[in-house]
């Protein structure tokens, strides 16, 4: 009996077909339906099927019968392909075995035969980074990652982890480079996704160990089912989380992702950090070269870093400059949240300058002081922003209980007339941006009330309540694909309303000035959120040393934040559709205003790593002066073992062959 790793079925029949592979107990996911003259291949390597099992193909004709192939094979990680051709008609077809192919061209020379690999497109969520034919492998374990990295080091390849690809900045893959033959992407989502709950022990609270390829959705669903939590909602959670649920944990940790929340007694005051997800790490395992490790030849190996060991802080946020396979993260008791959407307070009231006193009633700062959890979504050329206010509370009588996340259906699936209007704006009449903003606001108001084209079709989502994740997740992959700049402005919470007033005034002034020139560079909303900062306070140490915090987190506390009493970050993002004319001019001008306006001792500007920053008219990440300023920002008022050069040196120390680099990280860490 022949040994194979993959089975290919070529459709030469007169119908649409699909197939699976089975050993009689375990069955692979389907190939999916495909038409005549096409073929599909199923690779057994990413599955949990044990090597040595006897397997065979089972073919299904669309609207017809299902048949098993006669030939059977032994599953082995040998790269070989059993090839079938399916011929005949719907009521009478045959599955004809044609032979076994070694298919040597489908693998780079010498690549470990037990790891499946193929050339795939890298396409980020905004479709602004689109690179075809990148070698992409799917390891079945962390040990496979080690083997792939050692192969890469020996063959002159660079290595990047690949998750959901929901990232704007080219930290992984740079578009437009001439040759991708020496880049290896490692897909973490296939097998590096195990999740294990860890009860409280040794003065360390409950935590969760999770593979970096697991999605935030899977993680939050898992935590919600765990026993032992004493919160108002079942299981466990985090103080806040990013809005998209389809992100990998590894991607979230690499760029210190966040949601929106600051501690607000008495109801919302968990005894833990309200900073980024990265600051919740208790330990992590990375694939590194370790001069002091068990292998003196400096080959790549797995090493676990624990909170309390100083070098761990270099890996907690590392922009993809390291390969982390697993993290252990502190959790808290789960809780319920009400999310109230407010669209009847005008921008003049929400963004009103405080004039030296406390925030005025119904301003952003006023809502922040009341609940600690706000988000502003302001469509350009409109007067009434969409304000979300979350409250940690029992269910109000007016709220609708939601039992799942992503409850804003109207924003997740845009009708054809919206996408058609976008096409007109981009290609022929940008002045329609003004009407587009008002239309999006009108759709938002109708959608929040459950109305589609004036008819009550959906449940209202203006006032919803439920388990934390069900109101904190609200961005799906089908949401309008936009590009965005992003900055964290570190300051004292008392200055938030003034900062919002200054920013929104500048934003509106610039929009008006560009409009006067018949230029409409921004056609999507701006967003404002607020979080706490990252410090070791309220976080346990695993080893007993100082808990520390991620060294290059956008939220990192240091001597400057302490001296100036900065305790929050206001996140400002301005969104627009990719390809919009004059957007880069607008972003460049706005960034210059940010850096000149928010200065110490009142505030400091730090980039949101996953978004756009360092603008020139040539685009984001092209302003070397801004990049140099980033490095200086993480160096001034820092100890020699806690600055940008130290971060760079630690990551280089554990990557002796310099394989974890992209063009952008090379610029940053050099």
The answer, yes or no, to whether residue 104 has pLDDT greater than 60, is no
Is residue 270 a contact partner of residue 337, using CB atoms and an 8 Å limit? no
Whether 529 is a known active-site residue: answer yes
Q: What is the pTM of this model?
A: 0.86
Distance of CA 22 to the CA centre of its chain: 34
- Predicted confidence at residue 297, as pLDDT, reads 63
Torsion of CA 248, 252, 257, 260, to 10 degrees: 40
- Predicted confidence at residue 355, as pLDDT, reads 84
Of 592, 575, 571, 564, residue with least CA distance to 496: 571
Structural domains in the chain, sorted by start: 3-106 (2.60.40), 117-187 (3.30.43.10), 195-333+650-668 (3.30.465.10)
- Predicted confidence at residue 438, as pLDDT, reads 95
Euclidean distance between CA atoms 647 and 303, whole angstroms:
18
Per-residue pLDDT band at 98 (split at 50, 70, 90): confident
| Overall residue count recorded for the chain in this entry | 670
| DSSP single-letter state for residue 261 | B
Is residue 342 a contact partner of residue 373, using CB atoms and an 8 Å limit? no
User: What's the number of CA atoms in the CB half-sphere (13 Å) around residue 576?
Assistant: 23
Euclidean distance between CA atoms 87 and 355, whole angstroms:
79
Is residue 468 a contact partner of residue 335, using CB atoms and an 8 Å limit? yes
Per residue in 284-311, pLDDT tens? 999 999 877 656 566 999 999 999 999 9
Euclidean distance between CA atoms 408 and 661, whole angstroms:
38
Catalytic residue among 224, 326, 527, 591: 527
Residue 317's alpha-carbon distances to 278, 541, 618, in angstroms, are 6, 17, 28
pLDDT average, residue stretch 432-454: 91
Is residue 319 a contact partner of residue 552, using CB atoms and an 8 Å limit? yes
Whether 127 is a known active-site residue: answer no
pLDDT top residue among 523 and 458: 523
Per residue in 648-658, pLDDT tens? 999 999 999 99
Euclidean distance between CA atoms 582 and 538, whole angstroms:
45
DSSP per-residue letters across 240-284: ---SBSS-BHHHHHHTT----B--BTTTB--SS--S-GGGGEEEE
Distance of CA 87 to the CA centre of its chain: 44
Residue 67's H or E segment, with its range, is strand 66-68
Euclidean distance between CA atoms 578 and 111, whole angstroms:
37
Per residue in 453-491, pLDDT tens? 778 888 999 999 999 999 999 998 877 789 999 999 999
Instruction: Give phi and psi for 254, each to the nearest 5.
Output: -60, -30
- Predicted confidence at residue 414, as pLDDT, reads 67
What spatial distance separates the first Cα and last Cα of the chain, rounded to whole Å? 54
- Predicted confidence at residue 481, as pLDDT, reads 83
Instruction: Give phi and psi for 236, each to the nearest 5.
Output: -135, 165
Per residue in 622-633, pLDDT tens? 999 999 999 999
Catalytic residue among 529, 549, 591, 647: 529
What percentage of residues in the chain have a pLDDT greater than 90?
A: 80
Is residue 324 a contact partner of residue 331, using CB atoms and an 8 Å limit? no
Per residue in 401-434, pLDDT tens? 999 999 998 886 666 677 778 889 998 999 999 9
By CB atoms closer than 10 A (0-12, 13-18, 19+), residue 179 is exposed
Q: What angle do CA 140, 144, 145 make, to 5 degrees?
A: 105
Per residue in 492-503, pLDDT tens? 999 999 999 999
Whether 549 is a known active-site residue: answer no
Catalytic residue among 162, 166, 258, 321: 166
- Predicted confidence at residue 294, as pLDDT, reads 58
pLDDT average, residue stretch 533-537: 96
Catalytic residue among 224, 326, 375, 608: 375
């Amino acid at each position: 009996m022949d040994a194979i790793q993959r089975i290919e079925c070529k459709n030469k029949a007169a119908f649409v077909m699909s197939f699976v592979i089975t050993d009689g107990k375990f069955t692979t996911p389907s190939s999916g339906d495909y038409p005549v003259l096409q073929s599909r291949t199923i690779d057994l390597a990413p599955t949990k099927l044990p090597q040595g099992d006897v397997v065979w193909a089972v073919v299904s004709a669309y609207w017809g019968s299902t048949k098993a192939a006669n030939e059977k094979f032994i599953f082995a990680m040998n790269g070989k392909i059993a090839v079938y051709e399916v011929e005949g008609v719907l009521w009478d077809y045959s599955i004809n075995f044609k032979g076994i192919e070694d298919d040597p061209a489908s693998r780079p020379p010498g690549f470990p035969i037990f790891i499946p690999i193929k050339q795939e497109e890298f396409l980020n969520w905004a479709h602004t980074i689109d690179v075809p034919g990148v070698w992409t492998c799917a390891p079945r374990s962390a040990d496979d990652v080690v083997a792939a990295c050692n192969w890469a080091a020996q063959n002159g390849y660079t290595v990047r982890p690949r998750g959901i690809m929901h990232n704007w900045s080219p930290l992984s893959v740079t578009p437009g480079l001439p040759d991708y033959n020496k880049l290896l992407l490692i897909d973490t989502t296939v097998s590096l996704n195990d999740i294990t709950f860890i009860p409280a022990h040794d003065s360390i609270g409950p935590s969760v160990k999770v593979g970096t390829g697991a999605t935030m959705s899977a993680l939050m669903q898992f935590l919600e089912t765990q026993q032992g939590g004493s919160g108002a909602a079942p299981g466990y959670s985090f103080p806040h989380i990013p809005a998209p649920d389809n992100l990998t944990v590894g991607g979230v940790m690499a760029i210190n992702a966040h949601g929106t929340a600051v501690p607000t007694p008495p109801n919302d005051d968990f005894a833990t950090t309200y900073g980024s997800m990265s600051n919740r790490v208790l330990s992590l395992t990375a694939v590194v070269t370790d001069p002091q490790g068990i292998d003196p030849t400096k080959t790549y190996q797995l090493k676990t870093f624990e909170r309390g060991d100083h070098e761990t802080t270099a890996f907690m946020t590392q922009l993809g400059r390291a390969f982390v396979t697993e993290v252990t993260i502190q959790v808290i008791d789960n809780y319920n949240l009400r999310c109230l959407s407010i669209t009847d307070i005008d921008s003049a009231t929400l963004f009103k300058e405080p004039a030296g006193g406390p925030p005025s009633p119904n301003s952003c700062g006023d809502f922040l002081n009341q609940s600690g959890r706000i988000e502003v979504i302001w469509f350009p050329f409109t007067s009434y922003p969409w304000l979300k206010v979350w409250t940690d509370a029992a269910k109000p009588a007016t709220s609708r209980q939601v039992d799942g996340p992503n409850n804003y259906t109207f924003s997740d699936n845009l009708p054809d007339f919206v996408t058609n209007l976008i096409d007109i704006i981009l290609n022929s009449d940008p002045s329609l941006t003004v009407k587009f903003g008002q239309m999006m606001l009108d759709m938002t108001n109708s959608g929040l009330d459950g109305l589609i084209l004036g008819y009550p079709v959906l449940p209202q989502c203006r006032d919803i309540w439920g388990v934390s994740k069900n109101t904190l997740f609200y961005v799906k992959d089908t949401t309008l694909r936009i590009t965005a700049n992003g900055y964290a402005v570190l300051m004292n919470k008392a200055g938030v309303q003034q900062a919002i007033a200054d920013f929104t005034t500048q934003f509106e002034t610039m929009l008006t000035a560009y409009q006067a020139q018949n230029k409409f560079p921004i056609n999507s909303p701006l967003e404002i959120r607020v979080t706490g900062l990252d410090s070791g306070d309220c976080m346990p140490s695993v080893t007993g040393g100082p808990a520390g915090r991620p060294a290059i987190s956008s939220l990192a506390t240091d001597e400057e934040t302490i001296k100036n009493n900065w305790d929050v970050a206001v996140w400002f993002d301005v969104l627009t559709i990719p390809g919009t004319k004059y957007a880069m001019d607008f972003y460049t001008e706005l960034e210059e205003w940010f850096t000149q306006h928010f200065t110490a001792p009142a505030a400091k500007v730090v980039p949101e790593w996953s978004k756009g920053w360092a603008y020139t008219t040539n685009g984001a990440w092209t302003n070397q002066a801004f990049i140099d300023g980033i490095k200086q920002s993480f160096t001034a008022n820092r100890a020699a073992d806690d600055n940008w050069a130290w971060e760079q040196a630690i990551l280089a120390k554990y990557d002796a062959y310099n394989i974890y680099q992209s063009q952008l990280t090379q610029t940053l860490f050099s």
